[in-house]
Amino acid sequence: MVIVFWMFFIRPQAKKAKNQKKFIEDLGKGSKVVTIAGIHGIINKVNEDGTLNLEVSPGSYLKIEKSAISIEWSQQLNKPAATTDKK
């Protein structure tokens, strides 16, 4: 029972947390991201205090926490558009 619990609950959650941490560490200037609040923008600057300057429109910047970036939505945004071959 313990093995089943670990296999289906703890292991996937730990893997997801590891992926989230790596994604946050790899963020850099010019990355297109989406926040957990749904705000789209481009990273202008990565600050030393764990925050980012996010350009949401030309000349408009927001200072947000790195942890406010949604990994799922950001990856969806940066995923190449699927091309369909119609004959």
Question: Rounded to the nearest 5°, which phi and psi values hold at 15?
Answer: -65, -40
pTM over 0.75: no
pLDDT score of 81: 61
**Angstrom distance (rounded) from CA 10 to CA 47:** 32
Question: Rounded to the nearest 5°, which phi and psi values hold at 60?
Answer: -110, 120
Distance of CA 14 to the CA centre of its chain: 17
Four-way CATH pick for 27-75: 1.10.760.10, 2.60.40.10, 3.30.70.3270, 2.30.30.140: 2.30.30.140
What six digits make up the tokens of 3? 């093995």
pLDDT in tens, 21-80: 888 888 889 889 999 999 999 999 999 998 999 999 999 999 999 888 888 878 787 777
